[in-house]
Structure 1
Amino acid sequence: MIQNTQIVYAKPPADGALPDPAGTFSVVRTPFDAQAVNLKSGEVLVENHYLSIDPYHRFGLYDPALTRSQFPATKPGTIISTYGISRVLRSANPKYAVGDLLYSWVRWERFTVVDEPNLQYLQKVKAGIDPVHYLGPLGGPGLTGYAGITQIAKPKAGETIVVSATTGAVGMVASQLAKRLGLTVVGMAGSDEKVRYLVDELGLDAAFNYRAAASLEDALKKHCPQGIDIFFDLVGGKILDAALTQMKLGGRIPSAGMVSQYNLPHDKRYGLKNLHSIVGMDITIQSYRSSSWEHLVAEMREEFEAPLSDGRMKFKTHVAEGLENLPAAFYGMFTGESFGKTVVKV
């Protein structure tokens, strides 16, 4: 009999620890009969082909007795929700027919019943487009990069931008868009292989290995001798702190993530030491979330679809094979083992 494989959140990682694949999650398999599923009006039963893994999934995985967070704690025994690429198996919704390929809001499992309020997120995958791109440059990561550049950074041609976590999903989008808009773009990554990719494949003006840098401030000064107009922050911590010392008058810092801090206990998170550097500099630091800019999705896709199709825009995807390997892929995203946007092929 067919089984529904699910990745169930078992228990919080130890305070300050990475989400251990064996201890944090459990792989649960149960018999599944698609014809026996009772669909209510409007609901859709889908089989998930690809599932997205993103840094924000770490937000709720903590013990509220040990850690403070602005995000509600995920309850053990639940299954994490995510974006996916899914095929319709059965439908009680006139908008979607059996066989339709959808961009969906589902869960870390093989089969999902999409119900309210998640029906609003269903979209048919456009013919001729690599469906996995909907989990990257044509989806949430793409919108985060697009909005951060066009709405928060508001760049001018000739300015210098530094993008952190440049080989991640958002970083790849933001850096290439900035390059297309006429900026001098400097990236950074945690290995020489990734640095070469940024320059040779993505066409950035320069990039450096932040792990090998004796001084982050000196590395930024070397590659941005006139200073930084825009620092696109995805990592926070020491890298953000170093960038603060190199910002130019009127500089902008879109804050889209602080992945270096997600696995640290509250009292171990890095406290900025150079925040005084922004005094008298007219520097703007603005956090944002992609959901605030969902009205730009159509505009973003129009901007990116053609360059992705003809190769002018590159996007590297790290595909983990098999749903049972999702916990290990999630772990690898925080250790630097993955290269590019991480997805799981179910």
Structure 2
Amino acid sequence: MRLAYGLVLPDVQADLDLGAAAAGGISAGASAMYCVGASVGFLVAARVPRTLVVSAAGTAALGAIGVAVSPSAAVFGASAVLASAGAGLASPALVRIVARSVPSQDVPRTQTIVNSGTGPGLVAAGVLALVLLPEWRTAWLVSAACAVVAGVAVLRADHGDTAPEDRATTGPRGKSLPPAPWFRRHAGLLVAALLLGAGSAAVWNLGRAVLVDAGSGRTASVVAWIALGVGGTAVAVTARWLDARPPRTAWTITVVAVALGTAGLGVGAAVLPVALVACAVFGWGYTAATGALVAWTGAIDAEHAPSGTSMVFVTLVLGQAVGAAVAGAVVEQAGAAVTMLGAALVVAAGVPASRVRQDGVP
């Protein structure tokens, strides 16, 4: 839901008289709420992952319903912020559930595939938008129902704590907080995640608005968003290939793709084929990069993978909060091209940041 915000933004802005700066502020608030949810997950995912899944589905559904019935920009913003807590709660819970429900040798690839679920979700959101827009309220009601269905599906797929010994675990049930040296070993990873979040926010929040402003019609701009989702979905196909690479190598490949996609949208928004390719490349790169971050923290310390995932995504989305606010202000003053090119440079800075080495991580 949080990443589909930019898809409906032009129609919401028209209906609720919402400016670009205010829209960026709402996105920043949503990102902050995600961080709150993920921080809770950081503390309790190892003990109560199923409770987190229920909470994630509930907050996402309630927030989406609030968005659908919002009579004003203020109510819309508050509801969008609430809905964003769901994804933050879900991420660490899913890491724990996969780790105890999948044979240990299949955990990395399964985590990557789970992480690529953003792609099909964006494709579905785009198709829904093609059918329903400008009726964006109905789209959010459908999203609320999907959140509930997804939560039930995850609970049914969870094997609980009865998994056999050959399944990966994340350590003792009560041991959720890692030791102090663990945090120091994550320094380079956290800087890299922060930069990815800050730079990617421009596309997530302004991408479709940039396309519309460049002359693309409603249908063409939504199709470009679907292309972004298709790119994210393709991560499931490339998962085995990426998993065979060291974490830093996978990170470098995927971050370069995000930077190229962002820059391509900035300079080629008026040319639909260029915009479609840029969105697809961005979608693949971003989804695969987040998967690389999950693999990276697992390589540092597999025992605390849920805690690592929570911390990584908190940092990533904290970067998005800052990036969304800055991009919303810059685009009004300097235009879309400058905003997107600047965002691409921020993303690219994540490559050298990742060179800070951690013990035992190639």
The two structures have a TM-score, normalised by structure 1, of 0.28
Q: Which has the higher helix share?
A: 2
The two structures have a TM-score, normalised by structure 2, of 0.27
Q: Which has the higher strand share?
A: 1
